[in-house]
């Protein structure tokens, strides 16, 4: 997985980078077909810190964002939203596979 972390009006420290990487491991446990994750951490004002992610998976892209007063809380909320989306996407992919058709006349009659 290619992970890109940007900061807008905030410096992406090694602590923030490590925190995001650690939290993304939870998502990777559920779904390992992630191609790229693009994380944007931004500060809009002192009380509004925003974290957003665009994750490209095979077949589609998932996007989530969260705003909180604390950047770490925004990242936690972001990962919770993304995890729900990934599980839903995984179920859709799994349910999309069709069952084999049953042939008529092959079943025994009683």
Query: Is 109 among the domain residues?
Result: no
Query: Is 102 among the domain residues?
Result: no
Average pLDDT on 1-25 reads 93
User: 92: domain CATH number?
Assistant: 3.30.160.100
Query: Is 22 among the domain residues?
Result: yes
Query: Is 42 among the domain residues?
Result: yes
Query: Is 108 among the domain residues?
Result: no
State how many domains the chain has: 1
What confidence tens digit (pLDDT) does each residue in 34-51 have? 889 999 999 988 889 999
Identify the pLDDT of residue 47: 86
For residue 24, give the H/E element and its range: helix 14-30
Query: Is 81 among the domain residues?
Result: yes
Range of the domain at 75: 2-96
- pLDDT over 70, % of the chain: 86
| Backbone phi and psi for residue 108, each to the nearest 5 degrees, phi listed first | -70, 140
Q: Taking the CA of residue 18 as centre, how many other CA atoms within 13 Å lie in the half-sphere pointing to its CB?
A: 3
């Amino acid at each position: 997985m290619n992970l890109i972390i940007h900061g807008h009006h905030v410096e992406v420290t090694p602590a923030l980078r490590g925190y995001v990487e650690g939290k993304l491991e939870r998502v990777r446990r559920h779904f390992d077909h992630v191609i790229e994750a693009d994380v944007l951490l931004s500060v809009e004002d002192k009380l509004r810190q925003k974290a957003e992610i665009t994750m490209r998976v095979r077949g589609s892209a998932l996007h989530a964002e969260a705003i909180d007063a604390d950047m770490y809380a925004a990242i936690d909320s972001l990962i919770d939203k993304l995890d729900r989306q990934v599980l839903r996407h995984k179920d859709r992919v799994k349910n999309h596979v069709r069952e084999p058709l049953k042939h008529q006349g092959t079943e025994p009659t009683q």
